[in-house]
Structure formats: C-alpha cells, structure tokens
Amino acid sequence: MEENISKALSYFSVAFFIITAISLFLMLYGKNSEMVNIVNKNISESGPVYQTNIKEQAGNKVSGAVIIGCIKNGLETDISINSVTVYKNVDINTFNFDMVDLYAVYSVEYVYNSLGELTLVKYQKSGGVR
C-alpha cells in the first residue's frame, strides 16, 4: 500500500510540474513578441550606439592609436614604424608599445610585391600631438 501511495505522489508531482511548465510557457510566449517589439523600438529610438569625436585623418594619415589597435588585433602583414620593422607574428605580450606615439599622426605607405600582394605597411611619423 505504501508503494502505491509513493507512486501516486510521484505521478501527481510529475503531472503538476508538467502542467506548471506548459502554463508558464504559454503565458510567457504570448508576451515574447511584445518584449521583442519593445526592445526593437528602444534600440531604434536610442540614436547612435557608438559615437566618437575623433577627427578622421586624410587618406594616408592615421593616428598612433590606430597603429596600436592594429598590432593588438593581430597583424595581417609586416609593418614598419619609423623604420623599425614589426613582423606580423609579433607577440603582443612582449611588444614595446612605447615606440608608437599614441597622439602623433603617421603617414601610411603600402608596399606591394610584383604579384600585387601587400608585403609591408610603412608608418612614418609626420606630426606631433593633435
């Protein structure tokens, strides 16, 4: 008899959890599209997600911050900073970032091989603090 009561309680508990889960799903599913619409509306009304006041440099000019960002994100080709070559497989943990002036303006020159592949990007300091 005790076994039958135990089975009945377990069946009742399982049925209760299933009914609760289904009812919660149906209640929340109805509000799902409403929540998505609210999020989309807030995203579109919030204006620009990212805005900066850094002035864009003319065609072949970049700031030192751009060079540091390129190095930290991984280089696709070797670069030369003020005639010091930095290879594309440089370890950023041991790289001396002091050789790049964060606030300076650098002119950029792209060096291609005979096949038209980019082999080197030269950065030459052309200005001081902006």
Range of the domain at 10: 1-51
Neighbours of 86 (CB within 10 A): 20
The verdict on 43 and 101 lying in the same domain is no
The verdict on 66 and 121 lying in the same domain is yes
Tokens of 26: 């149906």
What are the residues whose beta carbons fall under 8 Å from the beta carbon of 27, sequence distance 6 or more? none
Indicate the number of domains in the chain: 2
Rounded to two decimals, what is the model's pTM?
0.51
The verdict on 69 and 120 lying in the same domain is yes
CB of 106 within 8 A of CB of 63? Answer: yes
The verdict on 45 and 77 lying in the same domain is no
pLDDT of the chain, 130 residues: tens digit per residue:
788 888 999 999 999 999 999 998 888 887 787 888 888 887 777 666 566 555 554 568 888 888 888 888 888 889 999 888 888 888 888 888 888 888 888 989 989 888 888 889 999 988 655 4
The verdict on 86 and 32 lying in the same domain is no
